[in-house]
Structure 1
Amino acid sequence: MLEGVRARLHALASRLRRLERRELDSFVRWLEHTGNLLHLSVLVFVPLLIAAVTWLTNMTAVISFLLFPPLASGTYTLFADPEGKHATPWRFVGGMTVGALCGWLALELTAAVGLNGGGVSAAGAALAIFFTGCCTWGLDLEEPTAFSTALLVLVTGNAQFAYVLGIVVSSSFVASAFVLWRSRFYEQRAQYLYGTTGGDDHVLVPMADGGETVARFAASIAGAHDAGKVVLFDVIDEDDAEQRVDLVDTEAAGDDGSEELAP
């Protein structure tokens, strides 16, 4: 009886392992699509990075919570399109920092000329956007989040320096994590995910005139891999193939006749 129970448990465990392998294979095939990989990266890494910045904010008074809207949107842009125009760490950090500095400059100018009435100055907001557009364009740091930091610095009260410093620290942290993710995982994803990368061991050689030289070259390429294989491929003309068959048959008949005449 115990043997029967043990056999059933063993069979159940084997089925579960097979099911687990099938599910894992399906998940890996799903990840092989770059779009799915990017969406999963956004869902995993963006919340983790924002959580890390939040923890830093709670630990120090340097980082303001007002930087979270542009930081979150900029982080999403980095991971959602790592090969896009705005997926440059220098552009990400520099654009957000320049935007904050432009907003600070606009705030000081409006205060100097007496245009900072109650609440947020409309002139200050306009100047902040204008300065940000000019500076990011001239410095080739055009970044959508730069305009957000330029406006948010207007509502920081007297903590403009702390806000700009927080932008530099938090954006540099996110940019460093992005560079590490892109260089160590995203650009190397074929090594971890794609099962077809082993095909570089197999060399298909179209044979034509001078095919021996090409075949030797292909063999040297495949020989650089442990499981290298060379497949020779040629297209034979139908008439030529029939002539070769007739020639082989003629030679075979001649051999048979020679054997019959032999004593």
Structure 2
Amino acid sequence: MSPQRVTDWLVRTVAGPGRVRLAAIFLVAPLLGVVTAAANTLAALPFLLFPPLAAVSYSLFTRETRSVAWDVPVALTVGACSGWLAAVLVGAFRTLPSHPYTVSPLVVVFTVVFAGVSLWALNIEVPPAFAVGLLLPFAGVSPGVYVANVVAASTFVIAVHAAYRGVS
């Protein structure tokens, strides 16, 4: 590829619709770096939360709409609460697995059902919310702390998104 073709491609990408994706990549990466640094210093903030948060963040920053998407922290919180509710419900009737990498199939079923019904009722479609709920057994912190971290991390992302949309 000639240098001129590379330059032409870069100009088209940066000036056109690729600008949004480039901005998302270069905003989401440092944003998640900050959240990960916080996770490394705070034992109560599990890193497992961040793969779905990364997916949601990228999706959020590449949305065409200029509005702030408060559905993201709501959806992720619904997912986390669904996982918590499912574990409590199943744990009341059965012994939950104690091995760190084993999850009760019933907890998975109820998490997906609770999250699916709740998100449907709220008319919110943020698929990583299901992952947030399903990661709860692996978080290594209490369910209440996990839900609080989901709220805090997703609200932080929304605040940065709101500032970005106000500037862009």
When the two structures are superposed, what TM-score results if normalisation uses the length of structure 2?
0.85
Give the partner amino acid of 2:112. I
Please give the alpha-carbon distance, in whole angstroms, between the structure 2 residues aligned to 1:158 and 1:54.
16
Residue 44 of structure 1: aligned partner: 26
2:127 is the counterpart of 1:144: yes
Please give the alpha-carbon distance, in whole angstroms, between the structure 1 residues aligned to 2:141 and 2:91.
12
Aligned-pair distance for 1:154? 2.6
Aligned 1:1-263 pairs, distance under 5 A: 30-34=13-17, 36-83=18-65, 88-114=68-94, 116-117=96-97, 119-157=102-140, 159-185=142-168
Aligned partner of residue 172 in structure 1, secondary structure: helix
Aligned partner of residue 70 in structure 2, secondary structure: helix
- 1:173-192 residue CA offsets vs partner (Å, 9 max, x unmatched): 1111011111211xxxxxxx
In the alignment of these two chains, the number of paired residues is: 160
Structure 1 residues 154, 30: closer, same or farther in 2, change over 3 A?
closer
Aligned-pair distance for 1:117? 3.9
Aligned partner of residue 120 in structure 2, secondary structure: helix
Sequence identity (%): 32
- The answer as to whether partners of 2:24 and 2:62 remain within 8 angstroms in 1 is yes
Please give the alpha-carbon distance, in whole angstroms, between the structure 2 residues aligned to 1:144 and 1:132.
10
In structure 1, list runs of 5 or more residues that go unmatched: 1-23, 186-263
Aligned-pair distance for 1:48? 0.7
Bigger drift between 157-166 and 131-140 goes to 157-166
- The answer as to whether partners of 2:49 and 2:132 remain within 8 angstroms in 1 is yes
- 1:190-210 residue CA offsets vs partner (Å, 9 max, x unmatched): xxxxxxxxxxxxxxxxxxxxx
Aligned-pair distance for 1:141? 2.7
Aligned-pair distance for 1:28? 6.0
Name the structure, 1 or 2, with higher relative contact order (CA <8 Å, separation 6+): 2
Structure 1 residues 82, 176: closer, same or farther in 2, change over 3 A?
farther
Aligned-pair distance for 1:27? 6.0
Structure 1 residues 29, 88: closer, same or farther in 2, change over 3 A?
same
Structure 1 residues 30, 106: closer, same or farther in 2, change over 3 A?
closer
Q: Which has the larger radius of gyration?
A: 1
- The answer as to whether partners of 2:76 and 2:150 remain within 8 angstroms in 1 is yes
CA RMSD in angstroms, aligned pairs only: 2.4
When the two structures are superposed, what TM-score results if normalisation uses the length of structure 1?
0.56
In structure 2, list runs of 5 or more residues that go unmatched: 1-6
